[in-house]
Amino acid sequence: MQTKLTLRIDEKLIERAKSHAQRTGKSVSKMVEDYFELLPKREEAGVRPLTPVVSSLLGILKGAPVDEEDYRKHLEEKYR
């Protein structure tokens, strides 16, 4: 069952959303619905779905000779 929802959002943000919706061939309502679908259900609270970027990186270092010590060295060099 679909129900109407009223949102109060900044005008500039609405225009950006409409522009994005037009480029992607979706309605703003569908974009909001898609976002709400990503929200965890009560029984799934604490389990967040991976974002597309994180999913694409999953397993990328599998089998690579990288360990915690390598990471520490990286951080030490980065923050010198």
What per-residue confidence (pLDDT) applies to 66?
85
What is the DSSP code string of 14-76?
HHHHHHHHHHHT--HHHHHHHHHHHSPPGGGTT-PPPPHHHHHHTTTTTT-S--HHHHHHHHH
What per-residue confidence (pLDDT) applies to 62?
85
> Mean pLDDT by 10-residue block, N- to C-terminus, for the chain (80 residues)?
91 95 94 88 69 90 87 92
- Judge whether 23 lies within some domain: yes
What per-residue confidence (pLDDT) applies to 44?
62
What per-residue confidence (pLDDT) applies to 77?
93
- Judge whether 13 lies within some domain: yes
Tell me which residue range forms the domain holding 37: 8-41
What per-residue confidence (pLDDT) applies to 60?
86
- Judge whether 67 lies within some domain: no
What per-residue confidence (pLDDT) applies to 49?
79
- Judge whether 17 lies within some domain: yes
Domains of the chain: total: 1
